[in-house]
Amino acid sequence: MTSGKAGVKAIESIEGAYTPFPGGLVGSGSKPSSRYKALLASTNERYCPTMKGIVPDTYVPENSDFVVEIVINGLTEKAVAEA
């Protein structure tokens, strides 16, 4: 959490870039794709804490119960790239 908060603080200093979620951090576990046409997002099983015991190639550390990510939006592509 400490490193995530530091990342959000750094992004806040970049003009035109912002994090759309309160506090800048959001629970991870979804991916922007799906095998179903009508579903825009699906579970990213490698980052889903509740699936870490059944997914052999999980990225969730054994002693961790949650994963967060920083979603970056921006007014320009340059602002997002800088963030």
What CATH number did the domain enclosing 6 receive? 3.30.70.520
Q: Is the overall model pTM greater than 0.85, yes or no?
A: no
Output the pLDDT for position 20. Answer: 92
Condensed to tens digits (0 to 9), the pLDDT of residues 14-69 reads 999 999 999 999 887 677 777 887 877 788 888 888 888 899 999 998 888 888 88
Output the pLDDT for position 75. Answer: 97
Output the pLDDT for position 62. Answer: 86
Burial of 29 (0-12, 13-18, 19+ CB in 10 A): buried
Number of domains in the chain: 1
Per-residue HEC secondary structure of 4-24 comes to HHHHHHHHHCCCCEECCCHHH
Range of the domain at 77: 2-82
